[in-house]
Structure 1
């Protein structure tokens, strides 16, 4: 068995029905148990996000907006551009519907897990406040649950990898810019390696500055990238406006009929949709709670409300727009398996000449901000395992992985991440489900006292 076959088999095994029940069923449980709280207080969440309740003296490192920007920097990325294309390729347009379902429940999951990440913040070996699944498991469930916290940190170390983002950045830069203009080396390997080295240097300049620099950079780049990408896709949709409603109908029909799926199996569509949504918005995976756990606040519920906006922006908005572009332009039926090139074809078809360059800019910003966020997650996982002093060494390992990802096989890269993400979700969701009553109690107290 080759390395590629091993990780493909492992990914299929881990992302089976039990894990889907844990993620989707867990999200449904949180939604019902909280009495649809994420949707009842959506307006209040916006007020918290815009800084109405910010207090610079509160404990933490970054404000609410920076925390959401940092989390979105790690989620709004290649999963939204390349991941959606891969979902449609593997599961058909119907996979988009199951991404919506996963994101809907994911909002409740994010609310619970990120509330807990502030509620049960713990101190690292250097005495600094930290949040995340490993800490809410240790602080909230007690020392007997430490093996679960350690397990999360181990798989989180491998899950926080930039190889997918680096791989897809290199592909789009090479195919859209370097090769068409004769700037590439004759040997593709050297072209990819050179681009990878440049990306690694840029990333190093940010992540070596720590969480505050990551938060500052993300808070500036994330809004810009969302506006640029959204505006580009809106233009494509307007050009093909007559196909918008038929495309939505097609998504709903295919979600249950499975006619367009390459494998023709209903289960494949559900699995692909849920898997890609998890890769895109990371609800239930456990990464976002690590970023939101660094927020400057004394009110855990506030950060949970801010965090729940993530899946709405990431999946319900950005992923839907990408999916519609691919379906409306009919490039999904071309048989092109490389995610980013499929999306690039959709842009090129509707915006000849400039489309691929617009996507190139979006991809670079999307991917590089994702790489910033993932570096923070990996360092936190390693710091939990071996101490904060040595955890900082993760950054150098991470920078080396960018170079590896730039020349690696796409299928191997994707499956390694899926294996790690699937395993990370187990301790994240188990801890959150056991501590859910604490979140509901805190929510009742908070909303009983809050004044708009």
Structure 2
């Protein structure tokens, strides 16, 4: 296992090299510039679309704008925000959060383009159902000659969509917060029992298909975000005098890398810190990876730009808000310096210190909702990838592979699971970003047309009212 762990770590480090950073961050920045910072100019309109102002039940697709965002957020607003941020701080210190922010700001533009394309170029699966996602907009937008790139994405997605990190951290949380304090002996047996319970819960939902998934997470996501938000606000209120210091330290440490404990990159600690922040940011909001377009591609809409606008809210909610709250909770309590814990255990230590007796149980409830909702969404991504590769009538076979991976995630190490998903996320990003950059001019043309129509409709409405 140690040899396998080392191999997967080397694989993740190799694929997260300079070429991918240029493609993911450089490409995202290019999209932000050529769109003239569109994500920030139309935030209000995006919220109006999300609230259902423009919903039409007769539009093609399977789920509403809100359900599409909820399904995507259920996968992104999860353990990446609780455990992923803790990993970033444990290795990189406060400065890692700044580079997560950078990835999110750029990621908003990336999400707008990829999810607009997911609706612009929806394809039909072998059963004739409309589907969206990178594999479909590659084939439908670039042509059949690019199918190899779509196949590459789908194969990488079969592993990238596995829930092993979420399960691993949920198991660690249950062990650390519930079992160990009550004297329960920990080991492979208890981990396996936790895995089997999660298998049962997940099976009930994922074998019900997208409709059941979207309805379930549509109820869970707002609840879990609100509960977590209130919990962290309590922690920050208890340590309010420390908040300004650590908020400013995030900025200064981002360029000094005084607290970085990882491997250097390009010969320096700062390079290693930047890579760490971008990797954790990509894991958190998944911008440019290609998972979210699969959820947003199923939205009921005839307007691709609307779905792109809704999708771009994801990184803002996920990384700029939820991840920042987690980071500040860990920093202001001081546990990042006073304990050797990492991952979800570090976040639990922060909650326990700020809210004695109840804090870690409150976090346990948040973690359970975060993780279980993530388990539901990721299975949908994997079935779409398998459907593209071997046919929609066989996509359900992925769920059996998915269920097995829950047991693997529950009984293996954190480093192996996080490096495995990091590596395959990187592979998924390559075809997603290449195709998005090529098709970007078509998105801009569609956006120009959409906003011209919206302006014309508003003008007519105002004249009628007058």
Could you say whether these structures have the same fold, taking a TM-score greater than 0.5 normalized by the shorter chain as the test?
yes
Say whether the 8 Å CA contact 1:86–1:337 is kept in structure 2.
no
| Alignment partner, residue 122 of structure 1 | 123
| Alignment partner, residue 254 of structure 2 | 255
| Alignment partner, residue 443 of structure 1 | 447
Match of 2:372 among 353, 368, 371: 368
| Alignment partner, residue 240 of structure 2 | 241
Query: Following TM superposition, by how much is the alpha carbon of 1:338 offset from its aligned partner in structure 2, in angstroms?
Result: 2.7
Residue correspondence of structure 1 range 181-220 to structure 2 within 5 A: 181-182=182-183, 184=184, 186=185, 188-220=187-219
Query: Following TM superposition, by how much is the alpha carbon of 1:306 offset from its aligned partner in structure 2, in angstroms?
Result: 0.2
| Alignment partner, residue 305 of structure 1 | 309
Match of 2:420 among 416, 419, 437: 416
CA deviation digits over 1:230-265, x for unaligned, max 9?
000001001111111100111111000111112470
Where does the alignment leave 5 or more consecutive residues of structure 2 unmatched?
Answer: 263-267, 459-466
Query: Following TM superposition, by how much is the alpha carbon of 1:337 offset from its aligned partner in structure 2, in angstroms?
Result: 4.7
Residue correspondence of structure 1 range 220-299 to structure 2 within 5 A: 220-263=219-262, 265-299=269-303
Secondary structure of the 1:352 match is coil
Query: Following TM superposition, by how much is the alpha carbon of 1:170 offset from its aligned partner in structure 2, in angstroms?
Result: 1.0
Say whether the 8 Å CA contact 1:97–1:273 is kept in structure 2.
yes
State the alpha-carbon separation in 1 of the partners of residues 404 and 204 from structure 2.
Answer: 14
Say whether the 8 Å CA contact 1:156–1:424 is kept in structure 2.
yes
| Alignment partner, residue 150 of structure 2 | 149
2:394 is the counterpart of 1:390: yes
Q: TM-score, normalised by structure 2?
A: 0.95
**Aligned Cα RMSD in Å?**
1.1
Query: Following TM superposition, by how much is the alpha carbon of 1:178 offset from its aligned partner in structure 2, in angstroms?
Result: 2.3
Say whether the 8 Å CA contact 2:107–2:288 is kept in structure 1.
yes
CA deviation digits over 1:380-435, x for unaligned, max 9?
00111011111111011111111111111111111110110001000000000000
CA deviation digits over 1:139-165, x for unaligned, max 9?
000011011000000001010111111
When structure 1 is superposed on structure 2, of 64-73 and 86-95 the one drifting more is 86-95
Say whether the 8 Å CA contact 1:89–1:335 is kept in structure 2.
no
Query: Following TM superposition, by how much is the alpha carbon of 1:90 offset from its aligned partner in structure 2, in angstroms?
Result: 1.5
Say whether the 8 Å CA contact 1:326–1:332 is kept in structure 2.
yes
| Alignment partner, residue 329 of structure 1 | 333
Q: TM-score, normalised by structure 1?
A: 0.98
Query: Following TM superposition, by how much is the alpha carbon of 1:356 offset from its aligned partner in structure 2, in angstroms?
Result: 0.3
Say whether the 8 Å CA contact 2:180–2:186 is kept in structure 1.
no
Query: Following TM superposition, by how much is the alpha carbon of 1:335 offset from its aligned partner in structure 2, in angstroms?
Result: 5.2
Where does the alignment leave 5 or more consecutive residues of structure 1 unmatched?
Answer: none
Secondary structure of the 1:179 match is helix
| Alignment partner, residue 67 of structure 1 | 68
Query: Following TM superposition, by how much is the alpha carbon of 1:171 offset from its aligned partner in structure 2, in angstroms?
Result: 1.1
State the alpha-carbon separation in 2 of the partners of residues 333 and 272 from structure 1.
Answer: 19
